[in-house]
């Protein structure tokens, strides 16, 4: 197993999207669908559950082999220590943000985000007593001024904004977040790990709506977050409490979809270039 992990570290993104994460049974090439709500409680599982450790393999909201397979695949693609999957992209966004934001905390972000995220921030996060401050994240001086003005818990943005496709300067934003002690979180749905790996640019957590490009077949909803084991473990505890976990059947469709991510992304990029020239 360790040799496979070492091989995948050196492999290209296309190879990783096909071979990473897969948890075979009886020499199958694909991970089986572990359609089970509960699992046999052996001594090791019981000890993990008793100690409150993340991913105790006793209940599918805590851990499931089908979802774990795609989490490992996503972690490989993002070059992250770990990842976590959710039933929807909004479940991933809200669970991640509420892991680090409490009443009285502040988030600095931009209104140029996915509309569902802005709705949640405006309608729910403020209701929870969270200070939501909007700035133009393309204006780095304005971002620094906002971070300097008041203690900030989270800096949040999108790699390519949805739907306006503005590009964020991730290395500069990550440096500013670190300078002022904020946790840097980015939604990289439109970029995918094929074109950008935000963790390598200094961000602490990267979110995707897998509904879109990562799955690619318009047949499931889903979300994910990747980052260090420490970050993901913290988010796992909130995921356990809030629900929003991915169903094993969703996970199997996502694993299948991600195997073609590399070729789909290359072809869609090529087609987009031709359309730009034509227009």
Q: Which residues are catalytic?
A: 61, 114, 187, 212
User: Residue with structure tokens 């931009």?
Assistant: 110
- N-term to C-term CA, the chain: 49
Question: What whole-number distance in Å separates Cα of residue 219 and Cα of residue 156?
Answer: 28
Structure tokens at 251: 């996970």
Core vs surface per residue 194-232: b (16+ CB within 10 A) or e: bebbbbebbbbbbbbbbbebbbbeeebbbbbbbbeeebb
Q: Which residues pair with 205 in a beta bridge?
A: 185, 227
Alpha-carbon 74 to chain mean position: 8
């Amino acid at each position: 197993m360790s040799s496979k992990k070492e091989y995948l570290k050196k492999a290209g993104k296309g190879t990783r999207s096909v071979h990473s994460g897969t948890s075979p049974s009886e020499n199958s090439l694909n991970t089986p669908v572990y359609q089970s709500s509960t699992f046999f409680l052996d001594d090791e599982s019981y000890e993990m559950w008793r100690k409150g450790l993340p991913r105790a393999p006793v209940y599918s909201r805590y851990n499931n082999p089908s979802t774990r397979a795609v989490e490992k695949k996503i972690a490989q693609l993002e070059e992250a220590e770990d990842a976590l999957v959710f039933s929807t992209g909004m479940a991933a966004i809200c669970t991640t943000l509420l892991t680090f934001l409490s009443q009285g905390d502040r988030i600095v972000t931009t209104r140029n985000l996915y509309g569902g995220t802005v709705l949640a921030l405006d309608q729910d996060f403020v209701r929870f007593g969270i200070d939501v401050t909007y700035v133009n994240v393309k204006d780095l001086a304005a971002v620094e001024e906002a971070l300097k003005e008041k203690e900030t818990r989270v800096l949040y943005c999108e790699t390519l904004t949805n739907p306006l496709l503005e590009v964020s300067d991730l290395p500069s934003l990550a440096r500013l977040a670190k300078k002022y002690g904020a946790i840097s979180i980015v939604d990289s749905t439109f970029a995918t790990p094929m074109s950008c790996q935000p963790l390598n640019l200094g961000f602490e957590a990267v979110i995707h709506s897998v509904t879109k490009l990562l799955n690619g077949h318009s047949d499931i909803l889903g979300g994910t977050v990747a980052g260090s084991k420490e970050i993901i473990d913290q988010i796992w505890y909130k995921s356990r409490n809030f629900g929003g976990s991915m169903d094993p059947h969703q996970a199997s469709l996502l694993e299948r979809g991600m195997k073609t991510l590399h070729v789909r992304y290359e072809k869609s990029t090529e087609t987009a270039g031709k359309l730009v020239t034509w227009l």
